[in-house]
Amino acid sequence: MADLMTYPPLTSDSIKAAYPLISPYIHKTPVLRSKTLDRIASTAQEESALKGIAFEGQKPATPLFRLYFKCENFQKIGAFKARGAFHALLRLCSELGIDEVRKRGVTTHSSGNHAQALALAAFTLKIPAHIVMPSISTKSKIAGTRVYNARVLFSGSTEPERVAMVERVIKETGAILVHPYDHPDIILGQGTVGLELEKQVEDLLKDFGNETYSKGDAPLNAVITPLGGGGLLAGTATYFSNTPSTYVFGAEPSFEGGDDGRRGLACGSRISTVSTLTIADGLRTPVGEVNWAVISDQKKVRGIFSVTEEQIKEAMTLILERLKVFIEPSAAVPLAVILFNEEFRQIAEKEGGEKGWDVGVVLSGGNTTVEAICRLYGEK
């Protein structure tokens, strides 16, 4: 990747500079609304849902939500990762020269979405790509990577196994690593999600004459994104770092310790290893070091919350059936937090009050299959 000594600073201005660089290569994805999902999210949970947690015996929260779904499942390759991959590769070509990058090629490791994103970016710029994927990756993600003429190599499912295979590729080919999430160029590219989202919500509020919105106000009270390696959350938090009235939150699966970000904040240090087979397969990686520096800053990320596998499936069902949008399980995690995490809901109720919160919800991707969804909901 581009030299860490020469990357742009992690600021909202750097994200604004990244946007025109990648705009010719990405889609401006839509923002969708659903009054039905607003009502469901604004309805108190059953008291039985609080049994066995810190809020047992308390009155369930009744926050007022207006949700704005940023549909990165409609992005090129079906996920937000195209933004970071194009930004990182374009910056690399600018620094080393495109001929040098073409001569050496690029490599990465990914369960699927960054794999496809880098394959697309490399294909577009006529650069050889060597992509390491876990052997358990979704078949559609493997096919989506190969369609761009990338060389696909398979590894074990854990982070150390992936990294070991990438190191072997670099030794054999001289390829340049384009990290899937832990680099400033990736973070800045992913942060353009926040830039687009803010402007789109502002336009929607103006068009519909929202009574709660005044010109000059921040259009969003909160934004929530999934958290895996952390590029999307760190990028979104970086973009909104100059807008303190917009809180940024992360959402994780709790299954088998997949909530390493939440646990890291609780203990005050980054958790470097994660071994989980959560259904949210895009969120199985630990938070990266560069990303952690952003995510652990409470002025940038207000909090990280986790949800169960069953709650992720319930949220996914609602998005499929009510929003009529096809997503992968990882993309449903933020809505699951809004619906089921009582700690998050208590914060929203207290701080939103009668006015409520306008919340941006990033649907990070849609790379799954009908077959995989049938298996998911066929589990007992």
Better-predicted residue by pLDDT, 281 or 325: 325
Predicted confidence (pLDDT) per residue in 95-137, tens digit: 999 999 999 999 999 878 999 999 999 999 999 999 999 898 8
- Which residues are catalytically annotated? 81, 111
Q: Which stretch of 53-57, 292-296, 346-350 has the lowest confidence by average pLDDT?
A: 53-57
* Full DSSP string of 241-255: GG-TTSEEEEEEE-G
Per-residue pLDDT tens over the stretch 146-203: 999 999 999 987 778 889 999 999 999 999 999 999 999 999 999 999 999 999 999 9
Domains of the chain: 14-79+186-378 (3.40.50.1100), 81-182 (3.40.50.1100)
Chain centroid to Cα 324, Å, comes to: 20
Instruction: Please report the sign of the dihedral spanned by the C-alpha atoms of residue 257, residue 262, residue 263, residue 269.
Output: positive
pTM: 0.94
Q: Give 315's contacts (C-beta < 8 A, 6+ positions apart).
A: 307, 332, 333, 335, 336, 339, 340
Contact by Cβ (8 Å): 253, 341: no
